Amino acid sequence: MKSRLFILFLLFPALLCWQSVSLFSQEKTKGKFGFFNGSKEKGEFPLEENTLFVEGMREYMLGNFNSAINYFEKVIQQNSKNDAAYYQIGLILFSQGFYNNALPYAQNAISLDNRNEYYYQLLSNVYEALLQFPDAIKIIKKLIEEVSASEEYLFELAGLYLYNSQPEEALKTYNQIEKKIGLTPEVSLQKQKIFLQLNRLDDAIITGEKLIEKFPAETDLLVKHAFLLFTNSRHEQAKVVYQKILEIEPSNHLAHLGLSEIYRGKGEFYNACKELEKVIINQQVDFETKERILYNNLSFITVDDSLRDLILSMGETFVNQYLDNPRSHTLYGDLLYRAKRNDDALKSYLTASQFKNPPFQLWQQILLIESELNRIDDLLNHSEQAIELYPNHPIILLFNGNANLQKKNYKKAIKSLERGAKLSSGDIQLFIQFYSLLGDAYNGTKMHEESDSAYETVLRFERDNAHALNNYSYFLSLRGKNLEKAEEMGRRLVEYYPDNSTYLDTYGWILYKMQNYEKAKQFLEKAVSHSPNSVIVEHLGDILFRLNDKEGAFEYWLKAKQLGNGSEFLDKKISTRLLYE
């Protein structure tokens, strides 16, 4: 409604200007807009009424609104019945947002000429801007009754009824329009909205059926009707309409999307995805729609193998359609990662990272997978690349610090971890992870005080942090320092995790260092039963030696050797059958 009026308002001043100029040569007249009242002879005033009006129009067209208003006010001073001058002032004030000020001018214009439809339009719009909808309705009704019953004014009236929360009156008005111009999508769709607002679903559906009966090949209307049915739980009826759409237009992706939702609602996920596959294959469908479809179906990859294979096939089709778009490779990587195909997911993510300005989230996913796959060299390399792009993201610094720690680059690890800890101070869980690793890194450089302090920091925030309890207590036992504290932490750890072989080994080793060999043996035997790795097996051998079971010790040392990665003294223990620490 507003856009049409705006055009009229632009045209009307030019029309007035032309009318005024045409009257300029007349000495005594009264035009359509009342420029002369017939009582003034030319030359009686320094500037005649029509000259003032033309000057006002000129200023108006130049955008000099205040000056224009002054000229129009002078016109009114000379002729208080000049409706056009009232209208022009009202129009200027309205266009500047001075609605209350515009109101009396619009009212005066229409009182002087109640046959001018533009005056009605201005007054109606002023009332509407002031949210005085009943008054706006009265003006438009009067315009329709006395000046013009054009359908454009009926549309405007219907809109005002809706603004004034009178949907029934709006319906009556749309019915009037329909009688004048016949069944049209514009009117029918508006009527449907009102029926739905009034909870008259059957009437809304009947209206839609009439519309598609008249326009049976208009797939846009069929899509709207199917959507109406679907959103109001008439799924089977909607399905029939969607199938009809596909008979007319087999590639209509909205119909396939609609059918997919219907199948999904019935729990037929494979059929739902088969409909989506047709959308993915369709070259006419835009990238964003396909991207959204695949992201929305990530979770279905884990439902069963057939769904997983179908969705991955859709993802492969998608990425092949958009090889030059990094988002397609990232999305395909997400699908593969969800399907637990981490190696393939990593390849797709790395392809995406080769494009310009790879986002932080992409690097984070790359580093996460490399960490999960224990690809430490790749993790170190890519985390360093990522730091160059995102030097202040603590997550990347955490991965880099951990990679350096694994490679025993302790000083580099400390540098990254200390910096990351400062950046993560607002995230307690992340802060705890940094200090947990800092405890390990400091210990690697024999900065024992700093290491102990880092673990203490972790335990202040999280008393039962397993990493800190395990490593702190174990490192204390290796140094033979504060063994009572180490024993207390180790005991808490095995109480929380009674079947964890690493924690059982730690506690057993603490007991060993405290010379409580019998109890240490119990925990080491339990640890070996859960996970017979070389370190744990060698520890059990050491304990047996202390208990004078030298043959048993020798057997466990041999077993540790077979498992690989024993201590630096393991070979000497085996060759001499003696204990070395």
What does the block give as tokens for 444?
Answer: 């690697």
Q: How far apart are CA 393 and CA 372, in angstroms?
A: 20
Q: How far apart are CA 482 and CA 67, in angstroms?
A: 92
pLDDT tens per residue across all 581 residues of the chain: 333 333 334 334 434 433 433 333 233 223 333 333 333 343 343 458 889 999 999 999 999 999 999 999 999 999 999 999 999 999 999 999 999 999 999 999 999 999 999 999 999 999 999 999 999 999 999 999 989 888 899 999 999 999 999 999 999 999 999 999 999 999 999 999 999 999 999 999 999 999 999 999 999 999 999 999 999 999 999 999 999 999 999 999 999 999 999 999 999 999 999 999 999 999 999 999 999 999 999 988 988 999 999 999 999 999 999 999 999 999 999 999 999 999 999 999 999 999 999 999 999 999 999 999 999 999 999 999 999 999 999 999 999 999 999 999 999 999 999 999 999 988 999 999 999 999 999 999 999 999 999 999 999 999 999 999 999 999 999 999 999 999 999 999 999 999 999 999 999 999 999 999 999 999 999 999 998 889 999 999 999 999 999 999 999 999 999 998 889 999 999 999 999 98
CB-CB contact of 537 with 561 (8 Å): no
Q: What is the DSSP letter of 302?
A: G
User: Is residue 520 domain-shared with residue 571, that is, in the same domain?
Assistant: no
User: Is residue 537 domain-shared with residue 506, that is, in the same domain?
Assistant: no
Residue 500 included in any domain = yes
User: Is residue 492 domain-shared with residue 507, that is, in the same domain?
Assistant: yes
Domain that holds residue 505: 464-528
Residue 494 included in any domain = yes
Residue 366 included in any domain = no
Residue 469 included in any domain = yes
Which CATH number fits the domain that encloses residue 488? 1.25.40.10
Q: Which of 528, 543, 566 is the last residue of a domain?
A: 528
Q: Which of 487, 509, 528 is the last residue of a domain?
A: 528
Q: Which amino acid is at 576?
A: T
Cβ contacts of 547 within 8 Å, gap of 6 or more: 517, 518, 521
Residue 132 included in any domain = no
Q: Which of 483, 510, 528 is the last residue of a domain?
A: 528
Residue 505: closest CA among 537, 536, 465: 536
Residue 579 included in any domain = yes
Domain count for the chain: 2
Residue 365 included in any domain = no
Q: Could you tell me the end-to-end alpha-carbon distance of the chain, in angstroms, rounded to an integer? A: 91
